């Protein structure tokens, strides 16, 4: 049976070069980077090499890269660590209604700790209005957290414009960007874009799961939230996951090589997919399309068919997709993003996310469209009205 993986926003296939490098480190260069002997120094070299690659591509300093277990931990450190370090300056935080749960639930926790959180609305395409951001910033605002690319509908936020606005109104406000879905698809330069903290996860860019990094501007005040042996200058204690960190750096190096061609391919297959889906009766694309949206994410609502039913029908044909965000797809809850952009009630439980990678082929897109043409009318015949 043909197998088509279109759930790349949930996770990506690991690059062979990443797996090879990680195996070598686990089996040969397996020392603890904190150890003072040769084995330890060999491991430490991988840490330094990884920082060099990431810092070079972001055009930041190596000392500004903090290795974490992934996007969720990076978001938590940025928000909790940033809030606790700057609580004397103010207790106001701004974010949006369509953030990843790693941000929304962390903000909810901070509200319990006495911080005030403003949740910015978005328009029908899932984009914030800079005027709303401008009105929300006060002298007590210590953090603004805005995701770069939405993980469900692929909307792109005006990060550079937001950063400029934030620093103009309150230069002391920290600007955090969750770039888990945007990194590797767009060139991101924190210094130029006034970003103080940037969260990234390796497994979204063909690296290993369980590792990521947080860029922290050297001038930003952030407290550690994990304590222990004092690794990474005390900012994140715990023995570094050397194989995963090096695997992530290898993935970063490869994703940035010929990035323009890879992104162009993604936009090409995305357009082909959307054009095919739009010919199917009772389907609706959520959010913007084309260059105004992320190249790898498409949200499709299918009238009259529950997302879970459609997901498994596609799975039976060897096609793998998500019912919204994979981080919450196993929970019976309505997508906050779809509600925020005003998706009609009839579509809230009838939406799938298709997401692509540079490995996705035109043939896979055509196969998926052909199977949807076959499946959707069949499922509608068995749907109760």
Cα torsion through 96, 205, 82, 174, rounded to 10:
-60
Give the residue among 93, 56, 81, 59 at the shortest CA–CA distance from 195: 59
Structural element, H or E, at residue 213: strand 212-216
E strand intervals along 69-189: 92-96, 116-120, 141-145, 174-178
Query: How far apart are the C-alpha atoms of 274 and 294, rounded to whole Å?
Result: 13
Phi-psi region of 232 (alpha: psi -120 to 50; beta: other; left: phi over 0): left
Exposed, middle or buried by CB within 10 Å (0-12, 13-18, 19+), for 168? exposed
Helix axes 362-381, 307-316, angle to 10 degrees: 120
Q: Is 327 in the active site?
A: yes
Selected catalytic residue, list 14, 27, 107, 327: 327
Q: Are strands 141-145 and 212-216 parallel, antiparallel or unpaired?
A: unpaired
Length of the chain: 385
Helix, strand, coil percent content, the chain, rounded in steps of 5:
40, 15, 40
Tokens (6 digits) for 303: 């009238």
The sign of the torsion formed by the CA atoms of 231, 228, 72, 192 equals negative
Looking up tokens 């990194």 gives: 183
Catalytic residue numbers, as ranges: 327
């Amino acid at each position: 049976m043909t197998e088509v993986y279109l759930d790349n926003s949930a996770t990506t296939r690991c690059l062979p070069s990443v797996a090879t490098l990680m195996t070598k480190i686990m089996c040969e260069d397996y020392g603890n980077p904190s150890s003072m002997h040769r084995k330890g120094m060999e491991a430490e070299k991988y840490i330094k090499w990884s920082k060099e690659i990431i810092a070079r591509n972001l055009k930041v300093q190596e000392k500004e890269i903090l290795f974490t277990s992934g996007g969720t931990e990076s978001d938590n450190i940025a928000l909790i660590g940033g809030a606790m370090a700057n609580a004397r300056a103010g207790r106001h935080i701004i974010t949006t209604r369509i953030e990843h749960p790693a941000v929304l639930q962390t903000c909810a926790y901070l509200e319990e700790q006495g911080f005030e959180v403003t949740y910015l609305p978005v328009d029908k395409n899932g984009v914030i209005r800079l005027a709303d951001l401008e009105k929300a910033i006060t002298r007590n605002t210590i953090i603004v957290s805005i995701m770069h690319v939405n993980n469900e509908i692929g909307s792109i936020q005006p990060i550079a414009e937001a950063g400029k606005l934030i620093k103009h109104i309150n230069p002391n406000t920290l600007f955090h960007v969750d770039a888990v879905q945007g990194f590797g698809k767009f060139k991101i330069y924190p210094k130029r874009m006034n970003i103080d903290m940037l969260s990234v996860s390796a497994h979204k860019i063909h690296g290993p799961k369980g590792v990521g990094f947080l860029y922290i501007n050297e001038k930003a005040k952030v407290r550690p939230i994990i304590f222990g042996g004092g690794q990474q200058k005390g900012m994140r204690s715990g023995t570094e996951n050397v194989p995963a960190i090096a695997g992530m750096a290898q993935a970063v190096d490869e994703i940035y090589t010929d990035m323009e061609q890879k992104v162009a391919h993604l936009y090409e297959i995305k357009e082909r997919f959307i054009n095919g889906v739009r010919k199917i009766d009772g389907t609706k694309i959520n959010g913007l399309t084309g260059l105004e949206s992320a190249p790898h994410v498409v949200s499709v609502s299918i009238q009259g068919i529950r997302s879970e039913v459609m997901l498994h029908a596609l799975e039976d044909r060897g096609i793998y997709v998500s019912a919204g965000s994979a981080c919450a797809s196993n929970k019976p809850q309505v997508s906050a993003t779809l509600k925020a952009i005003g998706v009609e009630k009839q579509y809230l439980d009838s939406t799938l996310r298709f997401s692509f990678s540079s490995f996705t082929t035109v043939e896979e897109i055509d196969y998926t469209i052909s199977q949807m043409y076959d499946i959707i009318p069949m499922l509608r015949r068995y749907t109760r009205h």
